[in-house]
Amino acid sequence: MKKLFFATLLLLPMLMCAQTIGAPDRKAGEGEGPFDRLIIRGAILIDGTGGPASGPVDIIVEDNKIVDIARVGVPKVPIDESKRPKLGNGKTKEIDANGKYVMPGLIDLHVHTGGAPKAPEAEYVYKLWMAHGITTIRGVPFGNLEWSLKEKERSAKNEIVAPRMVSFHRIGTGKEWENRKILTPEDAREWVRYANKKGVDGLKLSSHRPEIMEAVLDEANSLGMGSTAHLAQSGVAQMNTIDAARLGLTSMTHFYGLFESMYENNDVQPWPVDINYGDEQHRFGQVARQWNLVKPGGEKWNALLDEFLKLDFYINPTMTIYSAGRDVMRARNADWHEKYTLPSLMDFFSPSRTSHGAYWFDWTTEDEVAWKKYYQVWMQFLNEYKNMGGKITLGSDSGFIYQTYGFGTILELEMFQEAGFHPLEVIRAATMHSAQEIFKPLKKPIEYGVIREGLLADMIIVDENPLQNLKVLYGTGAVRLNDDTAKVERVGGIEYTIKDGIVYDAKKLLSDVEAMVNKQKQERGE
């Protein structure tokens, strides 16, 4: 299958995709509710704040809001049914969650919705996200500006099966700007005002030259718009992470500009003399060679941590999207590809000079060792920042580099734990802290991200303990030996995803995805 060409310098590759086909209208039977009164009975609650699990509780939802969390007993003692909240009148529903775990819906702050040739239909991507308990997503961007805002509106009205959407965009995008360029600070300010009027929530920035970066951030912050940046290596020598943070950047995504902010003996990365940034194996292979250019625990390292904390700077690392660099064979053969990865998406992942992120032209053991060492240093920085009180948030960037939508988000949770996060800290990063990143520029308290009275009813229910094993959140579950039967089985997988008080059968969503994959295989004669 012929693959679409992607620019690899400053433009986000997503923008080069053919537009994704919007999701179909939500059909009858796709989700139940919202209800006048929904009660989740007997659950063990992980509330998202970092506090320990507790239960049993009954969680009461009216329409799309949590109105009460009632403690209805203690572990291993029968519940006194007379003391439980009643269903009441109107349209009602009960979910028996006895012995099951309830936690906030996940909030993925770095997503794209695919597009031809890899994932032409948004329904495929949305249902994978929802099946993995992702109830809020931040597109950086989802697709082009007008399409993204339309899909956001449809999701807000629950007209489609999709997470809640927060829409960030690159400067200079939008139909009215198709033939214009951002050349001056005033151009940049004008575009920010234009985007704000359109309903854009925030900015996805690159490593723009300082006067442009200062202008867009000043304008965005004055309008209550968020900002994050992929500080591309092509411009990071003039705009690294601390440079951008000092100008008012809310958060960084990925790692670009981070190491460059604390080099010990360099000002720019000592690239090989034959470097060509347009060659993606150069681009992604060489970036890992920064691992020994910084000094963990050194003066510059500690100074950067301190300044980030003072600035209340958020880090959205998306460790998952580069993880294949450590072991491409593992990523290529992940459990979920056979059932849930479209053949066209696997085509896109395969080594190619023209598909972004398919840079396995001659990937070597040396490249993988460099990435393993890079992750060790990167994870140490993230864990230390978290331990100081800094905010680390959830992002996946799936759809590239052998990462399938939804599954890549859960892998990010596992990588947080690898970095040193306790499972409760992992879930807090993926829920409360990610919600705080969204609401910080709005200067408003969070409206979701914690299971608490008064917040929106975005929750997931799983029949296994995610604190004991985060793998149970994968759609494919976790592999376990059943000692009673002496057989290997799969356990877990999210049972229900609840968004805006609407209850979705997560396993049915996965079944829908599997049918899409099978349909494409049949069409291709596979």
Give me the domains of the chain, ranges plus CATH numbers: 106-442 (3.20.20.140)
Res. 270: pLDDT tops 50: yes
Res. 11: pLDDT tops 60: no
* Residue type for position 59: I
> How confident is the model at residue 151, as a pLDDT?
97
Strand 494-499 relative to strand 459-462, pairing: antiparallel
Residue 18 pLDDT grade (very low, low, confident, very high; cuts 50, 70, 90)? low
* Residue type for position 52: P
Distance CA 491, CA 29 (A): 25
Nearest to 280 by CA among 401, 139, 409, 403: 401
How many Cα neighbours within 13 Å face the side chain of 389?
A: 6
Nearest to 153 by CA among 143, 144, 166: 166
| Torsion sign over Cα 213, 215, 221, 225 | negative
Token pair 């005002």 in the structure block, residue: 193
Mean pLDDT of 14-24: 67
Structure-model confidence comparison of residues 17 and 433, the more confident one: 433
> How confident is the model at residue 20, as a pLDDT?
80
Do 109 and 392 form a contact (C-beta atoms < 8 A)? no
Distance in Å from the first CA to the final CA of the chain = 13
Res. 6: pLDDT tops 60: no
Res. 13: pLDDT tops 70: no
Nearest to 474 by CA among 98, 54, 106, 114: 106
At 369 the three-state DSSP class reads helix
> How confident is the model at residue 116, as a pLDDT?
87
Res. 287: pLDDT tops 70: yes
Res. 362: pLDDT tops 50: yes
Tokens of 459: 């929750």
Q: Each residue of 195-250: pLDDT tens digit?
A: 999 999 999 999 999 999 999 999 999 999 999 999 999 999 999 999 999 999 99
Mean pLDDT of 352-370: 94
Q: How many residues does the chain have?
A: 526
Res. 70: pLDDT tops 50: yes
> How confident is the model at residue 8, as a pLDDT?
32
Do 464 and 479 form a contact (C-beta atoms < 8 A)? no
Mean pLDDT of 375-391: 98
Distance CA 340, CA 312 (A): 38
Q: What is the mean pLDDT of the chain?
A: 94
Res. 440: pLDDT tops 60: yes
